[in-house]
Structure 1
Amino acid sequence: MSMNDTPENQKKHSRPLRIVLIIAGSLLLFFTVMIAGINFWLTDERLRSMIAEPLRETAGQEADIQSLSVTFFRTFPRFGIELKGVRIPDSSGEEMILADDLLVSLDLIPLLRNEISVSRLQMTGVFIHYRILPDERSNFDFLLSREPESVGTGAGYTFSVPEIIIRETSLYYTDENTRTELRLNGLEADMAFFYGEHIQTDMALFLESLSFARDGTQWITNLSLSLNQSSVIRSEEELFQILDAELSIRGLALDLSGSVSEWSSGQPLLDLAFNSSSENFGELLRLVPPHFMENVSTIRTDGSLVLEGEISGRVTDDSLPDIGFRLNVSDGFLQYPDLPQGVEEISFNFSFTNDLAFLSHFQAVTADNRIRASGQIENPLSDSAPLHLDLNADIDLGTAALFYPLSNHRIDELGGQLSLSGELSGNLHDPDSFTLSGLLKLEDGMLKFEDVPGRIEDFFFHAEASEERLFIHESGFRSGQNLFTLSGLISNPMSEQSRELDLKSSLRFDLESLRTFYPIDEDTLQMRGLLKSEIHLRGNPQRDDPERLLQQSRITVEGGYLFHIRLNQPIEELVFRAEGDGRRLAISEAGFRSGSNRLSFHGTLLEYLGDNPYADLTFDGLASLSSIAEIYSFEPWIQQLEGDAEMTIRSRGRIQEISTLELDGSLTVNSVSASGDSLFLPVTGLSGELTVTPEQMTLQDFRMFYGSSDIQLEGSVSDYMLFFRESNVNAFNDIYDTNVYPAINGIFKSNHLNFDELIDWDAEKSDDPYPVHLPNLTANTDIEITGITLFGLEIRDLHGTGTLSREKLALNRASARLFDGKATGSMTWNTTLPLATSVAFEGALEGVTAENFLRDTGFLGKNSTLYRYISGELNTRFQYQSKLTPSLDPDISSTKASGSFGMTGVRMRDHPIQRELSRFLNSTEFQTLTLDEWEAVYSIEESVMTLTGMSITSGNLGMQLDGSVHLISGELDYRATLLLPSRFKNGIASIISSQAASALELDDGRLAVPVLISGTIDSPRVGPDTQLIERIIRDRVRDGAEDLLRRLFRN
């Protein structure tokens, strides 16, 4: 320790440090308290009142802001407010302004005075859509119509935003009246804005993509731009002045200067100038669309480029300002990489004014080839703009490989001498007014593609044009034995309305030789055969039907062969011979073979190039279905298909009017089998013969197995083409325009029809409505089915006649064996209302098993459980009708039925009514009854079944019953008389008194006890009919009970 480091000196030296620490701590404490205070003061509610409320008042709509927060760190040392997820809709609720992120940097002191001073504004992910609506209003009108508040009155008032940053922004403009769309995407900008006596802006802007369309025409697509500019707006003088600006269009830079003034008059005055120059004219290639940029990006260029122009004058509703610019290229040069020569001496001068667009001295030279052009357009901005263009070229195509990459088009060699000289004149806006004159000639042409040994040789083309005609001298090409020629005359070639053709061509082509001069992969496609044609076209292609152009022409294909990798079998023996004249194409022979399949046809086509040709064709064919499946896959619907088909069919009529076609011939199928996802069960053994005439279709000996079910059909269909009429294309359509339908007559047979296998009943179960539409046909079919399986029920020996109409399905004179008995009768299903159908039955049952019938048919309603307690034989005659619910269940409330039934050999056990009778009589004898007889007459109406005269006897026990049961609720209302042996007298006396029991006694000692049965089927109640018993007692006292009972039972 130094002698000077005494405690007093140490204390003296440490004092300044303490002062510094105290000051720093105080400042830290101050800023900490200030930041905490600002966060406490600037609550979310206060921020929204300062920002969201003014936005709402300005926009007239509720501004949706996902989050508002205060930040110091991103804007230090200034105070910042960040908004995320901003959405401002227009008055209709459509998106108008969106922003992912807005960051505003504010000076703190003015903010404490409720004043806003912005030092930086940063916007990211902004989308603004300005729309002109059909009524000429815009979606921003409600903003622009609001009166702006005064921003200050002092002469020294200033406002500035020193830094504005824009990223990932899109601006859209849509005019729904003119179908105009302007799209600016990928906008990036750095700006500074100063507002005082004048408004000054500095901007560096880049636009990734600009697209413009109008009236369905896309004028600009994905054009990239950049702009650096400084400008001043002098509001009082109405002057916008560009101080310094550079506009770059896809890299082509333009210097801009000038001004816009006097805009309040509605006729702004423009005074703008632009210019650009470069020692490399290839800068122009930057203007090509992006999808072509890859093709030109590697081209080496040189030569001077000068572009300069000006726009001056007023913009009014009736006139444009004076526009003038000049584009000059001299000593231009371009060369593709890796090629020995380039295009040299490129030069042209293009000038444009309101009065004249003029191209002069355009030329390009390469490998002793020269192209020259010049032309002009008078008054190019007017509707009548006369055009005149001259073009001259003399090119040796054999030198093209020196300066152009032919390999881009898979061309290996190119040769020939091409000469072109011509003039084009007319109105720029009326192509029909164009006239063409000149000469186009190609001699000794040659073309060879890569990867093939042969050449297309002797290309020759010679055409002369005058103002009114284009004459093609004999032109074409030769390649080995192949030859194509073309010659003729085209009158008024530039006018679509008055153009006339008179052209002849001939072709002789060996299809196998195509691979020698055109690149075809033999592993993919193989062809053979000789194609010959002679075509003569004469007429106006715009005015005349296309087929009218064809005059006395022929086309043939002989020995044809075609194989493609997608075909499992080649198409062989392909032949086609046809002659055409006007609207008629006569096919004398056509056909092919593929594996074991053959198809041939011949006949005539009229108006064959129209929308609805008339055809008279005869087809002969033999098909192996398994090989067809190999050529064309039917998967996943059909995985396996086998069998043979043979046809001979003649078809006459309009192809698009199927219902008018006249068919003659036959179709025979043998041993067809199929399976797949579209078939619930496999089809096997399908065979049959179908013959057709224009009036009738006849099916003979049709047989098939569908799963375990066999189907046999024979019959005919008359008026069958009505299936295809317009109102009947959908066989289940609701709308019909005629009462005539196809009619079917035939026989349906089956040894076994398994509906449980044909239909997935579990999948069919549904309470959804199922509208019933019967097909548009009539039918009368005899039915013979040896066995049917339906819901597990076996039905045997079904015979009958089925009829079908538009609104009714019926089975008449039917008989079948079921439930160990026999059923006869008829059934009608009425479908007039598709969602409210009804059924009706009439017939008889003889000797059927009662419990099975009642269980499986639901005859007494789906809630009936009588089958659980009864056994024996049932004989009944009945009439039954009921409406069906939309889900095709019987509507019991609408059911009406009547008839009689009787049962023999009946045994009833433990029915709820039996149990209640046993309780009432205090005896178990009624719990199990073997009935000697059970007869009754019944009727069903309004959900109630009424029994009349029902008589049951079991040994010395008996019962007579009348009354009703509700088939839905199960409520009982029966009056019955029990016939009981004398041993029941004491028990009955204990219930109704000894006097009453004696009054109910018959001459033979039995008791006739009146009872009432009420309650429900599952919970019945049995009690004495006290009113009747009292009346019997009174009558006995008066007349004698024996006589009364004798009259009651006629014993």
Structure 2
Amino acid sequence: MKRLLSILLAVLAIFIIILFTVPIIFKDKIVARIDQEIDKSVNAKVHYDLDKVSLSSFKRFPSISATVADFGISGNAPFEQDTLLSVDQFQVDLNLWSVIFNEYPELTGLHLKGGNVYIKVLEDGTANYDIAVSDGKEEIPEEPSAFKLGIDLIEVEDVNFIYDDRQMKFFMALADFDMTGSGDFTLDVYDLLADVETQIIRLDYEDVNYLTQKKFTADTEIQVDLKNMKFGLARGEFGLNEFLFGLDGFIAMPDEGMNMDFTFEGKDNEFKSILSLVPGIFTESFAELETSGRMDFGGFVKGTYQEKQIPQFDINLRVEQGMFQYPDLPQPVKNVNLDLEVKNSSGNLDLTQVNIPEFSLQVGSNPISGRFLLEDLVSYKMDGQLKGQLNLEELTSIFPLEGMDMKGMLDVDAKAKGKYDSVAKVIPAIDAKISLNNGYVKSEDYPAPIDQLHGKASITNSSGQMKDFLVDLSSFGFELEGEKVEGNLKIQDFDQLNWDAVIHGSADLGKILTILPMENVIMEGKVRADIDSKGNYKVVEAKQYGQLDTRGEVELVDFYYTDADLPQGVRINKALGDFSPEQVNLIEFDARLGESPVKAKGSLSNYMSYLFEEKGTLSGNLDINSSHFNVNEWMTESSATETDTTELSLIELPRNIDFTMTVQADEVFYDNLVFTNTRGVLILDDGILTFKDAALNTLGGQMTLNGSYNTQDIQTPLFDLNFNVQSLSIQKAFQSFNIIKAFAPLAVNMDGEFNTDFRLSGILGQDMMPILSSLDGRGLIKVAEAALKGSKIVEGITSLTKLKEGNTLQFKNLNLTAEIKEGMLNVKPFDVKLWDYKAQVQGSTGFDGSINYLVHMEVPAKKFGSTANNILSNLEGTSADEETMIPVAFNLGGTYQKPKISLAGESSMESLLTNTLKAKAGDEKEKIKEELTEQFKAREDSVKQELKQKAEVAKDSAKKEAEKVVDKAKDKAVDEVKNLFKGAFGTKSKSSSDTAKSGGSE
């Protein structure tokens, strides 16, 4: 017996040793196989650290578990900036025996713990999850993945999930997603046991938000039939917050449409469960909320969903004698009764019926009751009633409103019956009266209340005809520390919409904001308004705005406003304007926009068309003055600071503004430039800003601009400008303008001034900088006097020729005729003196920094010293002597910083001198020059063709970048959701040992 026990203990010990050693022995094999499968199967960048890969035989015996910390997948273009998957811990389970005995491991489990998943589908259907390597054919690749699947468990823990489908206009964000799924996933038909818990941050469809901040749970058994694409729920228990419901049935997805048959019913028939879906009530203190009453919920969805067909459905919700009360507040909301049915038995969405035969509740001592029936969504035949009172003071004893006191009585008594038909000019008969008396709102943050809040309105139509419709807001107003606002409004005839409105009074905006705060908003100042308006919508439709009698005056004093989207802030010391039907006169405007003081006056016309028409254009004439204006802080995402490195961003011009502006500014700051004595006329019309004689001083010189800036196509914003420049510093211009850095790199070593009359057009990037490959331009550049020092090109020429003339060149009266086309600056042949020698230069500079020039220079033979003398002594019967001029031609290639300089047509100076002196004797010097020029032009044509292709690639890249920026507004919504995840989507810093696996072709 002891011997048997010893044997068993020995076997057990050996088995445990094997379990410990197998992960060590086979780690390299498993990791190598994972690498191989990633490279073969994944067309994306897979990030993980080999040092953070661990194996264990004990986590899921008899499987061996491979765990990777900090595992991530990021996509290729156009998803370079989006991380598809980033998890703290990624674990795969592999069949132990397949690891030991088989060539290919068998995958049995997947586990994700902590991290983020971001699925993104663009409007054209391109998806960032489409990362599987494809052979370019529709059929299955000949060599599928060698991994065998035996998965029976999938676990996800604490993962944030965003699904952003811009093609379907569907957006869903889930936080802290937990799921356990078990089943035999290798079969076509299997049962999946799933347990899910998550927080729905947001769920939108077709730009409509359906769910926000809801806890979701699911415990269900799904019958999966992959062959027939049918998914059934044998049992399903789901929850939204505390609202639990069961769901049974199936959904099948044949080739067209979706077939479904579901029934559902409430699982916890208490009033508190349905109450948990109300955002203002489901708070941290919800668990302590006292409630009573019953709730019944149930219904079905059955039929086919297609483009023009929906399933039949019937949804019922009933609440009986509901009550809730906050534990620290004295009064409840009680006697809550609701009977709701939404049904459709036709399959046509327009024939959906909504019926609320009973609705009632009691808020404090005041009852509210109503009913509503909507027969369909075609004739809009309805019958509804709402009646009740709400005591605002009692409201604060029912709902927790910290730091807020309210008083007043709100009365509502409304009835509506009939149908709405715009063609027959029929509307429901309406009799509604709404009033607020003795209103009072006070915040603990401000000592004085908004007092004397009142309003009285009636909406009536006894006949059901549009012409008898009347809205009479006979009075409304309030008072704050002695300042009153009063007004009234009357609208008659639902077809004509005749209105008569009056508003008079003044208010302190800062005080109002203190009492009624808005998040991230700072506002202060006083507004005074005296406005009377009469008119009707038929006149608006006919665009006869002169018949709209709107007149009055508005004054704004000591106004300041800033919010999250306007961090620079706007301060208006005083603004005064008056209204007439024809125009708005800006009598006075004294403001500071960000850090820039601005004064203006002028007039705006066609403002009624601008207000009432979708494409109405606002016209105006303005005189604008500023002592200094900082453009940079309005072109970046954050206000400018000394350390701000935010790139400039594109300014989009409105299409429905037609302004002529006379502008004067003592200083204007743009990028790293300072413009002084700026003046000119700017015309903004249909998204195009036109400059007329816009003059300014900068970089020690004067500049006048004429031309345009066009953002009609925001993806390819255009500019077309004529620059007239006088006495501009060459060195400062090089430091300030990217165009000069790219096309005139010689200027880095040149001192002096230049004049130019140059026309330039092209595409602007999203950073407001010209896209060099898109430029077209032509003009004359004049340099009166300049010095070139320390140039590598000059050093190269002196080194090649052995001429000891120094590394400084002086230029006088230099005239260059230049043209920019297809990303290349072409310089026509021009004469210049290099040292004391006559020279001619021609060639081009590419937007990529490449240079390609031909220099012809004539040098006296005596300058070449003994080399020339020896050649001359051997040339018999020639008239050549030391004073004979030697034509020397150079090819300049490479880049300005790394020039490649060679003799044109010759291999050495000796052969050049020999052949040239012989040519002198035969009068063939000009012929040689022509041949060299023809060779240069042929080579230049080849360079231009290559550069043209590069320019097209660069422009296409810029266009894609613009598309990303235009899509930024949608990405901003995603970023806001990510912020709610408390930084969970932040980029993790990678150590030097991180390994980035890029599977497939990128």
Q: Does 1:399 align with 2:394?
A: yes
- The Cα of 1:254 is off from its aligned counterpart by 2.7
Give SS of 1:309's match. Answer: strand
Q: Are the structure 2 counterparts of residues 264 and 273 from structure 1 closer, same or farther at C-alpha, using a change threshold of 3 Å?
A: farther
Aligned length: 769
Q: Does 1:858 align with 2:853?
A: no
Counterparts of 2:305 and 2:291, CA distance in 1:
42
Give the aligned residue type for 2:370. Answer: A
Q: Deviations over 1:515-557 (max 9, x none)?
A: 7995899xx9997778241231523398477976852411053
Give SS of 2:283's match. Answer: helix
Equivalent runs, 1:292-311 vs 2, <5 Å: 293-294=282-283, 297=286, 300-311=289-300
**Percent of counterpart pairs with the same letter?**
11
Aligned counterpart, 2:790: none
Aligned counterpart, 1:580: 580
Aligned counterpart, 1:421: 414
Aligned counterpart, 2:923: none
Equivalent runs, 1:331-350 vs 2, <5 Å: 331-350=321-340
Give the aligned residue type for 1:73. Answer: F
Q: Are the structure 2 counterparts of residues 189 and 424 from structure 1 closer, same or farther at C-alpha, using a change threshold of 3 Å?
A: farther
Give the aligned residue type for 1:360. Answer: P
Q: Does 1:459 align with 2:454?
A: yes
Give the aligned residue type for 1:351. Answer: E
Equivalent runs, 1:748-759 vs 2, <5 Å: none
Q: Are the structure 2 counterparts of residues 194 and 340 from structure 1 closer, same or farther at C-alpha, using a change threshold of 3 Å?
A: same
Retained in 1: the 8 A contact 2:751–2:786? no
Equivalent runs, 1:460-479 vs 2, <5 Å: 460-466=455-461, 467=464, 468=466, 469-479=469-479
Retained in 2: the 8 A contact 1:449–1:455? no
Counterparts of 2:785 and 2:724, CA distance in 1:
22
Q: Deviations over 1:740-778 (max 9, x none)?
A: x7989x9x8xxxx9x6986789999999643999xxxxx
Counterparts of 1:184 and 1:219, CA distance in 2:
14
Give the aligned residue type for 2:620. Answer: A
Give the aligned residue type for 1:553. Answer: R
Give SS of 1:836's match. Answer: strand
Aligned counterpart, 1:969: 909
Give SS of 1:338's match. Answer: coil
Counterparts of 2:863 and 2:43, CA distance in 1:
81
Q: Are the structure 2 counterparts of residues 134 and 334 from structure 1 closer, same or farther at C-alpha, using a change threshold of 3 Å?
A: same
Aligned counterpart, 2:485: 484
Aligned counterpart, 1:359: 356
Retained in 2: the 8 A contact 1:183–1:212? yes
Aligned counterpart, 1:535: 532
Retained in 1: the 8 A contact 2:533–2:551? yes
Out of 615, 632, 642, the residue aligned to residue 620 of structure 2 is 615
Equivalent runs, 1:479-878 vs 2, <5 Å: 479=479, 481-491=482-492, 498=495, 500-509=497-506, 511=508, 518=515, 531-540=528-537, 543=541, 551-557=549-555, 560-561=557-558, 574=574, 576-581=576-581, 583-587=582-586, 603-608=602-607, 610=610, 613-616=618-621, 636=642, 678=672, 722-724=706-708, 769-770=743-744, 804=757, 807=778, 809=780, 827-832=814-819, 835-838=825-828, 840-841=830-831, 857-860=834-837
Aligned counterpart, 1:189: 180
Give SS of 1:490's match. Answer: strand
Aligned counterpart, 1:23: 7
- The Cα of 1:328 is off from its aligned counterpart by 2.1
Aligned counterpart, 1:443: 437
Give SS of 1:837's match. Answer: strand
**Greater relative contact order (CA < 8 Å, ≥ 6 in sequence):** 2
Give SS of 2:394's match. Answer: helix
- The Cα of 1:509 is off from its aligned counterpart by 1.6
Give SS of 2:180's match. Answer: strand
Give SS of 1:341's match. Answer: coil
- The Cα of 1:124 is off from its aligned counterpart by 3.7
Q: Does 1:282 align with 2:267?
A: no
Retained in 2: the 8 A contact 1:808–1:828? no
Aligned counterpart, 1:1007: none
- The Cα of 1:502 is off from its aligned counterpart by 0.9
Retained in 2: the 8 A contact 1:965–1:973? no
- The Cα of 1:281 is off from its aligned counterpart by 0.8
Retained in 2: the 8 A contact 1:193–1:200? yes
Q: Deviations over 1:848-880 (max 9, x none)?
A: xxxxxx9xx5344xxxxxxxxxxxxxxxxxx75
Out of 374, 377, 380, the residue aligned to residue 377 of structure 1 is 374
Counterparts of 2:201 and 2:561, CA distance in 1:
46
- Normalising by structure 2, we get a TM-score of 0.56
Retained in 2: the 8 A contact 1:483–1:509? yes
Aligned counterpart, 1:787: none
Retained in 1: the 8 A contact 2:734–2:740? no
Retained in 2: the 8 A contact 1:97–1:129? no
Point out where structure 2 has 5 or more consecutive residues left out of the alignment.
142-148, 346-352, 611-615, 645-654, 684-690, 712-716, 760-777, 788-804, 875-880, 892-903, 918-1002
Give SS of 1:27's match. Answer: helix
- The Cα of 1:828 is off from its aligned counterpart by 2.6
Q: Deviations over 1:446-467 (max 9, x none)?
A: 3334322244215232232325
Give the aligned residue type for 2:414. Answer: S
Retained in 2: the 8 A contact 1:281–1:305? yes
- Normalising by structure 1, we get a TM-score of 0.54
Give SS of 1:24's match. Answer: helix
Q: Deviations over 1:662-706 (max 9, x none)?
A: 89xxx797xx9x9999469xx9xx9x898999999799xx9x998
- The Cα of 1:187 is off from its aligned counterpart by 3.9
Give the aligned residue type for 1:27. Answer: V
Counterparts of 1:550 and 1:476, CA distance in 2:
23
Aligned counterpart, 1:250: 241
Q: Deviations over 1:627-673 (max 9, x none)?
A: xx9xx9986499xxxxxxxxxxxxxxx99667x7689xxx797xx9x
Q: Are the structure 2 counterparts of residues 45 and 61 from structure 1 closer, same or farther at C-alpha, using a change threshold of 3 Å?
A: farther
Out of 222, 225, 232, the residue aligned to residue 216 of structure 2 is 225
Q: Does 1:101 align with 2:91?
A: yes
Give the aligned residue type for 1:605. Answer: L
Q: Are the structure 2 counterparts of residues 587 and 64 from structure 1 closer, same or farther at C-alpha, using a change threshold of 3 Å?
A: closer
Retained in 1: the 8 A contact 2:407–2:438? no
Retained in 2: the 8 A contact 1:592–1:600? yes
- The Cα of 1:61 is off from its aligned counterpart by 11
Aligned counterpart, 2:856: 895
- The Cα of 1:363 is off from its aligned counterpart by 0.9
Give SS of 2:395's match. Answer: helix
Q: Are the structure 2 counterparts of residues 421 and 891 from structure 1 closer, same or farther at C-alpha, using a change threshold of 3 Å?
A: closer
Aligned counterpart, 1:166: 155
- The Cα of 1:329 is off from its aligned counterpart by 1.6
Aligned counterpart, 1:1039: none
Counterparts of 1:417 and 1:229, CA distance in 2:
47
Retained in 1: the 8 A contact 2:95–2:105? no
Equivalent runs, 1:61-210 vs 2, <5 Å: 72-76=57-61, 78=62, 80=64, 100-103=90-93, 123-124=111-112, 164=153, 166-168=155-157, 178-179=168-169, 186-189=177-180, 191=182, 204-209=195-200
Q: Which has the larger radius of gyration?
A: 1
Give SS of 2:267's match. Answer: strand
Q: Deviations over 1:249-308 (max 9, x none)?
A: 323223456789999999978474534343x4121133346x974377367242222324
Q: Deviations over 1:974-1006 (max 9, x none)?
A: 999xxxxxxxxxxxxxxxxxxxxxxxxxxxxxx
Q: Are the structure 2 counterparts of residues 268 and 743 from structure 1 closer, same or farther at C-alpha, using a change threshold of 3 Å?
A: closer
Retained in 2: the 8 A contact 1:365–1:371? yes
Point out where structure 1 has 5 or more consecutive residues left out of the alignment.
1-15, 148-159, 639-653, 728-732, 774-789, 843-853, 861-878, 902-907, 921-933, 945-963, 977-1051
RMSD: 7.5
Retained in 2: the 8 A contact 1:829–1:840? yes
Counterparts of 1:62 and 1:588, CA distance in 2:
61
- The Cα of 1:477 is off from its aligned counterpart by 1.9
